[in-house]
Amino acid sequence: MKKRKPKSLILVGNGINTEYETAHAHRLVGFEPDFIHINTLIEDPHRIKGYTFITLPGGFLDGDDLGSAKAQAVRWKYRKINKTGKTFIDLLISFVQEGNIILGICNGFQLLVKTGLLPGLGSEHSTQRVTLTFNDLGRFEDRWVYLKNNTFSHCIFTKDIHTIYLPVRHGEGKFVVDTEKTLERIKQGGHIVVQYADDSGNVTSQYPFNPNGSIESIAGLCDSTGRIFGLMPHPEAFVHRIQHPRWTREALPEEGEGLMIFKNAFKYVTENR
């Protein structure tokens, strides 16, 4: 009997605009992805049952009104589910506690930090401690960046990755924290996953390698389980050689480097479910 592919869920609507690229990356590694409108999910949140992997793709949720992803974060944090007293955040926490995984890309990362799901310090997944705000130069950045993986991180998505080259496309990508204590907890707890680096793989705050001025050059975070991961660069935008900006001038492997993140997701799901 042919083994059934693990099912994954990709959110769409309200300004999300990279769902097709994300679904393509899911299919390439072996997932069977479904789309669901973000409003539909709020109306019937228990539809996440049966899925092993949820991705919050990039885009401009609600037109970035109130700040990137802020309006949707408020809906997720405060709307109660069927008089149970629980919120959609509570449901997502249970989803991860059951061994499932969540990936937030760019706007999806902004949503994860503004709900408090990341960094989830001390398992506090509903208190916002960090945010992503306007780039230092005050303009939209559309460029490719080098990222160095933090070997002390327990993120399941970046296993066996040393460095990775991906594009960024954002106006609000600068990572900041509420206090120095929060930053120390993030560093000591292995929550920092990827950091902006130069072309030699050295972490740097220098522009344009760090395109937004993020403290500690942080480009991506995970929670304490390592199963919730958010990053500003777009792994789904580099899954084929021809997506590389120098593909006509360099000898490159057929697979783009971003596919490694989705391969790790698939490997984790199939080995641990």
Which one of the listed residues 106, 155, 170, 257 is annotated catalytic?
Answer: 106
Nearest partner of 194 among 86, 109, 68, 80, judged by Cα: 109
Pairing verdict, β 101-105 and 228-231: parallel
124 is a catalytic site residue: no
98 is a catalytic site residue: no
What pLDDT score was predicted for residue 225? 94
d(CA 273, CA 261): 18
* CA dist list (Å): 187 to 52, 150, 183: 28, 10, 6
Which one of the listed residues 125, 236, 244, 257 is annotated catalytic?
Answer: 236
236 is a catalytic site residue: yes
d(CA 175, CA 135): 9
- Give yes or no for a contact between 262 and 270, defined as CB atoms under 8 angstroms apart: no
Q: In what order do the strands lie in the sheet with 141-149?
A: 32-37, 7-12, 53-56, 101-105, 228-231, 218-222, 192-197, 141-149, 163-170
Nearest partner of 112 among 258, 256, 222, judged by Cα: 222
Give the torsion sign (CA, 129, 134, 140, 144). Answer: negative
> Which residues, including other chains, have CB under 8 Å from residue 106's CB and lie 6 or more apart?
18, 57, 58, 59, 168, 169, 170, 173, 231, 232, 233, 234
Indicate left, alpha or beta for 256 from its phi (over 0: left) and psi (-120 to 50: alpha): beta
Block means of pLDDT (10 residues each) for the chain, 273 residues, are: 85 96 98 96 90 97 89 90 83 94 98 95 84 97 97 95 97 97 95 97 98 98 96 98 96 97 98 85
What pLDDT score was predicted for residue 86? 87
- Count the Cβ atoms, other than its own, within 10 Å of residue 261: 29
Nearest partner of 199 among 187, 210, 188, judged by Cα: 210
What pLDDT score was predicted for residue 67? 87
Ordered domains of the chain (ranges, CATH) = 7-272 (3.40.50.880)
The torsion angles phi and psi of 211, rounded to 5 degrees, stand at -80, -10
d(CA 271, CA 16): 30
pTM: 0.96
Which one of the listed residues 26, 125, 234, 244 is annotated catalytic?
Answer: 234
What pLDDT score was predicted for residue 2? 63
d(CA 90, CA 92): 5
